[in-house]
Chain A
Amino acid sequence: GESVGLHLPTLSVQEGDNSIINCAYSNSASDYFIWYKQESGKGPQFIIDIRSNMDKRQGQRVTVLLNKTVKHLSLQIAATQPGDSAVYFCAENQMDGGATNKLIFGTGTLLAVQP
């Protein structure tokens, strides 16, 4: 499959461990944030989102934390599995009253799960 980002930061974890992927966003006016997972040869897949009026949101095996003070997002994956191996992107949206779906994407982090 195609390679997405040849020089990405890489996080290597053991199967069963918890993973934490970090992201710094750029615009203090951004008020909606989304995490995507991209496997080789595929488009980004929605994982979880969070609005700026929240600090934490949980999904199935995933948790997103938002720290607006330092403009930082993190994605926590519990009990990481080989199928979690992919590139993970954070994206920010300055919703401006909900008028746009324009997303600004981070550079991505390659998560490599070792069996």
Chain B
Amino acid sequence: KAGVTQTPRYLIKTRGQQVTLSCSPISGHRSVSWYQQTPGQGLQFLFEYFSETQRNKGNFPGRFSGRQFSNSRSEMNVSTLELGDSALYLCASSLATGYNSPLHFGNGTRLTVT
């Protein structure tokens, strides 16, 4: 079974631009979550979707948004990019929410903002 697929693998953007990252979950998984990873802050929760509904949101500004489609694929968008948005963005999927349904991560999209 294919794992979580994230595209693109690398992105370079300039300040003020916007970016859209894409995630295809493991087949059959209905829950998708996004995390930001930086050397300074570690892994931080962005948002979580289940059946096209945002279930939970982390402590990030409104410039960070996301959505989930009916086929469980998800996208996240960052508008008006800042230098501090440079990070590895990780998508994870699980069958559902709950015990015995751990998150499985993709290899991430490395975003560099210049």
Contact = CB atoms under 8 A, between A and B. Distances in A.
A106 B86 CA distance: 20
Interface residues of B, number: 31
Interface in A93-113: 95, 98-108
Interface string A1-13: 0111111000000
A2 B102 contact: no
Q: Tell me if A's interface is mostly helix, strand, loop or mixed.
A: loop
A105 B42 contact: yes
A32 interface: yes
A107 to B, nearest CB: 6
Contacts of B43: 44, 89, 91, 103, 105
Interface in A16-69: 32, 34, 36, 41-46, 49, 51
A5 B42 contact: yes
Contact of B48 (A49, A100, A108): A100
A103 B92 CA distance: 11
Given A5-B42, A100-B48, A100-B97, A43 B110 contact: no
A104 B33 CA distance: 13
Q: Of residues A3, A44, A107, which shows the largest number of chain B Cβ atoms within 10 Å of its Cβ?
A: A44
A102 B45 contact: yes
A43 B108 contact: yes
B39 interface: yes
B104 interface: yes
Interface of A: 2-7, 32, 34, 36, 41-46, 49, 51, 89, 91, 95, 98-108
